[in-house]
Amino acid sequence: MTLLSVKGLAVSLGGRSVLQDVSLTVDKGEVVGLIGPNGAGKTTLMRAILGLVPHQGRSSLAQLSPRARGRAAAWMPQTREIAWPVSVETLVALGRTPHLAPGQRASAEDRAAVDRALKRMGLQEFRHRIATALSGGEQARVLMARALAQDAPLLMADEPIAGLDPAHQISTMRTFASLAAEGQAVIVSLHDLGLGVRHCTRLIVLDQGRIVADGAPTSVLTPALLRDTFGISAWFETTPQGAVFQPLEVLE
Amino acid sequence: MRLYVILLILMGTLFGVALMIGPAGIAPLDSLRALIFGGDGPMTLVMREIRLPRALLALMIGAALGMSGAAMQGYLRNPLADPGLIGVSGSAALGAVIAIQTGIAATTTLALPVSALVGALVGVVLVLMLAGPRGGSLTLILAGIAISALAGALTSLVLNLSPNPFAANDIVFWMMGSLADRSMTHVWLVLPLIVVGLGMLALMRRGLDALTLGEDAAQAMGINLAQLRLLLVLGTACVVGASTAVAGAIGFIGLVVPHMLRGWVGARPGRLLWASALGGAVMLLAADIAVRVILPMRDLKLGVVTALVGAPLFLHLIYRTRRGL
Amino acid sequence: MPRGVAPFMSGSMHSSRSALGLVLSGVLVCSAPVLAPVMARAEMPARVVSMNLCTDQLAMMLAAPGQLRSVSFLASDPRSSAMAEEAASYPANRGQAEEIYLMQPDLVVAGAYTSRATVALLQRLGVQVEIFAPVTALDDVPAQITRMGDVLGQQDKAAQIIATYEADLKAFQQESGRSPTAVLYEANGYTSGAQSLSGQILATAGFTNLANEAAYAWGANMPLEVLVMKAPEAVITSRSYPGGSRAEDILSHPALRATQDRRAEGSVSDSDWVCGTPYVLRAVAQMVSLRHTLTNGED
């Protein structure tokens, strides 16, 4: 089932074209890794898909009403902002916002969703801690739990594993995989190609505002693409422990 | 819930005290009897036409300033925002003074509060434009200083140009605020605007909570930011404009009250709204009692008391957020 | 109406000003012949500038034609000056040292509240400055007139005015009748007690001033509720100025209006009340007629 379809999406910021003619669809069960060098337009693409920036073209999500969109897709921005010293539980419960009618109080179902999200991110013990007093990595997980509590079929996360320790990077990617296995889909922007290769079902490579490759990790990360788009060489093998990708050199 | 009960009890008690305190020195029981049952004597007049409107205005205006402070802080995600400090009250005072000195205020009853409302509107729009959506502390405070200074200077200019010899003395009133000798007319004048304004600000509850996660996340969760901003601007203009039109610019209530109550509501900006409204009413009632206890025979300005409480707290907040500066 | 004050009180309040003008111009004309010897024996300043509303009026009453060169701008404002018409014929000054100095005065008369800096500057520049303290009692008015007469070299004219003033004042003081209670109430709730000129005007007119606590002796703000509780028979308010102000709001407060509704309302025009000149008797006369309205029908 298609959760997102984007056709001919283009964005100009300040007269400069930052995204051109992007088309893609995402089906349930997919973990889509969005990769590309700095400034390729990954964040802009995700925000345009959600309708958070003015754009041309069509995005099935951007056409929804704000609340319907909130129920269809959860969005984790790259900036990890927690403005007030609220408890972890309170923060995660904010994910239920699109499910509540104006003035409606949180129901048992909402509380259950919060509990599930906390459990999934291993945050049960943190429930009553003050979110702003946590470490950066812990905050990242709390914000992740918030996005999970939104219970949307599609999760879009902008560099969610940046700044996490290796164990939490891997477990976060595993969480995405398990969500996909349950019938949801994930779009995640990444810089760590190795984790992308191991945990994504599909990679979309963005360069200078255009999609230059879209497909299974093994078919996308060819030496030519790595050279042209990222300017690197890499060691990439399928081993008994799964696919292993290791960047090697910067190419002149 | 317990917090609301405590605040309501406190508010009710202070309201009663405010009714019983005054330079005329009427015995508390007599004063309440005169208030409720009336009678022909001057005591009824004092209670119903002088003390009752004063206490009612303290309650309403305190609630208005408290909630608008909480709303601004929540929207800008900055604990330093206060309508008095960032020049919104000053702009409202300018609007009111212009209405009085041009004679517009004398034409219709509503001209004065509406003109103050327009002043507040200009002030709050300017602050939001200058401080930007995220309301960084430095830009917010600088914008506030600039707008306050400009509004204050223009207010003084208008009053000094007035043919009325007392107008120049009014500068202190417009800058520091006072509830002395207001009447029921003023209560009816500001009540609708404050009710409408509080209603608009209260609608921001969910949006402000969501904004804890930043604008992008809030918007993606279905919050209409443009609508939220409009509620903030109009709601603040209504309550601050109406309050300032009858009581002058009273600073620091919107700063102190949300700060003191934040811990009680789990720091949730949405819940802080009504809590701050009640807290603001408590603080202004207390301040207005204080000015009458300290100098019963003179009109000590409210801003003196609120600043004595608020300014040290403001310094403390700046000290704490200086990394953000 | 007491006899002897006729010149100050003839006709309505409005026409009394012109009546007074006639009287005063009569004084000027009559006293002209006797001026010569005075000039001869006293040093008479030829170019006098007044910087204060009250010295303005005293100087206008006493100065010889051409002797007074300028009065303050307030002197021509009918709201504050009892001699606005006369003042119109003098150049106005705004009390700036520069403009005063350029008038090349050999004498400057100023009030005690005239800017000290201006006075000091003028003195440093070699200008003689005479400072007049405000008058706070009706009995002090003659001394003030005498002093102005002395510094202007117009002693005889001063003596004439004083004689009339004292006779008129005496006539008021001999009046009897019930003393209704009253409070003077101005912008910001300012009231005046027994030690103030306004308070004395009220008392001389036969009122009992309810602002009788020591705190109000020279004048102080009386909270509105204190006034309402005192329930005076008359509340005498000042007329409001154009432009409007928060300070004057109190004069239209419903509680005050309710107090006045049940009783007599008086209104003072500041011009007769503010300065220690013979015009204070016009204020007294106005209050006497207010008292008569209040006590009308009683005994």
- pLDDT per residue as tens digits for the range B57-102: 999 999 999 999 999 999 999 888 899 888 999 999 999 999 999 8
pLDDT, residue A104, reads 85
CA of B224, closest CA in chain A: separation in Å?
7
Domain A2-250, what architecture?
A: 3-Layer(aba) Sandwich (3.40)
In terms of CA atoms, which chain B residue is nearest residue A140?
B213
Contact A91 B212 (CB under 8 A): yes
The residue-averaged pLDDT of A176-182 equals 95
The answer to the question of residue C3 being in a domain is no
Q: Which of A215, A239, A213, A237 is nearest to A226 (CA)?
A: A213
Q: Which of B216, B222, B269 is closest, CB to CB, to A52?
A: B216
B187 touches chain C (CB under 8 A): no
Structure confidence by residue, pLDDT tens digits, A8-28: 999 998 889 999 999 999 999
Kind of pairing between the strands at A242-250 and C234-238: unpaired
Do C140 and C64 share a structural domain?
Answer: yes
Q: What are the CB-based long-range contacts (under 8 Å, 24+) for C65-72?
A: C65/C28, C67/C152, C69/C103, C69/C105, C70/C100, C70/C103
Structure confidence by residue, pLDDT tens digits, B252-300: 999 999 999 999 999 999 999 999 999 999 999 999 999 999 988 888 8
Contact B77 A83 (CB under 8 A): yes
pLDDT, residue C249, reads 87
Give the domain-ending residue among C169, C201, C224.
C169
Q: Which residues of B touch C188 (CB under 8 A)?
A: 166, 169, 299
Write the DSSP assignment of C254-275 as a string of letters.
Answer: HHHHHHHHHSEEEEE-HHHHSS
In DSSP terms, A87 is beta-bridged to A130
B212 touches chain A (CB under 8 A): yes
Instruction: Check pLDDT > 80 for residue C262.
Output: no
CA of C55, closest CA in chain B: separation in Å?
20
Provide the 3-class DSSP secondary structure of residue A214. strand
pLDDT, residue B134, reads 64
Provide the 3-class DSSP secondary structure of residue C23. helix
Q: What are the CB-based long-range contacts (under 8 Å, 24+) for A235-243?
A: A236/A197, A242/A198, A243/A197, A243/A198, A243/A217, A243/A218
Give the domain-ending residue among C169, C204, C237.
C169
Structure confidence by residue, pLDDT tens digits, C6-65: 333 333 333 333 333 333 333 333 333 334 344 434 578 999 999 999 999 999 999 999
B323 vs B126, residue with greater confidence: B126
CA of B297, closest CA in chain C: separation in Å?
6
Contact B77 A84 (CB under 8 A): yes
Contact B212 A86 (CB under 8 A): yes
Q: Which of A50, A90, A130 is closest, CB to CB, to B220?
A: A50
Question: What is the edge-to-edge ordering of all strands in the sheet holding C181-185?
Answer: C208-209, C181-185, C234-238, C264-268
Dist CA C109 CA C111 (whole Å) = 7
pLDDT, residue B323, reads 57
B23 touches chain C (CB under 8 A): yes
Dist CA C68 CA C8 (whole Å) = 25
Do C228 and C133 share a structural domain?
Answer: no
In terms of CA atoms, which chain B residue is nearest residue C215?
B297
What's the structural domain count of chain C?
2
Q: Which of C80, C225, C245 is closest, CB to CB, to B164?
A: C245
CATH code for the domain of C146: 3.40.50.1980
Q: Which residues of A touch B268 (CB under 8 A)?
A: 84, 86, 90
Kind of pairing between the strands at A2-13 and C190-191: unpaired
Do C189 and C161 share a structural domain?
Answer: no
**Which run of H or of E encompasses B315?**
helix B302-320
Structure confidence by residue, pLDDT tens digits, C108-161: 999 998 888 999 999 999 999 999 999 989 999 999 999 999 999 999 999 999
Instruction: Check pLDDT > 80 for residue B120.
Output: yes
Retrieve residue A193's tokens: 């190609």
Instruction: Check pLDDT > 90 for residue B153.
Output: yes
CATH code for the domain of B26: 1.10.3470.10
Give me chain B's average pLDDT, please: 91
Give the DSSP letter of residue A152. -
In terms of CA atoms, which chain B residue is nearest residue A47?
B216
The answer to the question of residue C106 being in a domain is yes
Q: Which of C80, C250, C255 is closest, CB to CB, to B49?
A: C255
Instruction: Check pLDDT > 90 for residue C244.
Output: no
The answer to the question of residue C25 being in a domain is yes
**Lowest mean pLDDT segment, chosen from A190-194, B107-111, C83-87:** B107-111
Provide the 3-class DSSP secondary structure of residue A30. coil
The pLDDT-based confidence of C263 (bands split at 50, 70, 90) is low
Do C200 and C122 share a structural domain?
Answer: no
pLDDT, residue A3, reads 94
Do C85 and C211 share a structural domain?
Answer: no
Do C44 and C163 share a structural domain?
Answer: yes
Contact C226 B23 (CB under 8 A): yes
Structure confidence by residue, pLDDT tens digits, A24-76: 999 999 999 999 999 999 999 999 999 999 999 999 999 999 999 999 999 99
Range of the domain at C199: 181-295
The residue-averaged pLDDT of C189-203 equals 92
In DSSP terms, C71 is beta-bridged to C92
The pLDDT-based confidence of B133 (bands split at 50, 70, 90) is low
Contact C243 B105 (CB under 8 A): no
The pLDDT-based confidence of A117 (bands split at 50, 70, 90) is very high
CA of A98, closest CA in chain B: separation in Å?
5
Q: Which residues of C touch B157 (CB under 8 A)?
A: none
The residue-averaged pLDDT of C55-79 equals 94
**Interface of chain C toward chain B, CB-CB under 8 angstroms:** 80, 187-189, 215, 220-226, 228-231, 241-250, 253-255, 258-259
Complex ipTM, two decimals? 0.92
Residues 6 or more apart from C149 whose CB is under 8 A from it? C62, C155, C156, C157, C158, C159
Chains contacting B (3+ CB pairs below 8 angstroms): A, C
Work out the burial of residue A224: count CB atoms within 10 Å of its CB; fewer than 13 is exposed, 13-18 middle, 19 or more buried. Answer: exposed
pLDDT, residue C246, reads 85
CA of B322, closest CA in chain A: separation in Å?
16
Range of the domain at B67: 2-324
Structure confidence by residue, pLDDT tens digits, B41-65: 889 989 999 999 999 999 999 999 9
Do C136 and C18 share a structural domain?
Answer: yes
- Break chain A into its structural domains and give their ranges: 2-250
Structure confidence by residue, pLDDT tens digits, B228-239: 999 999 999 999
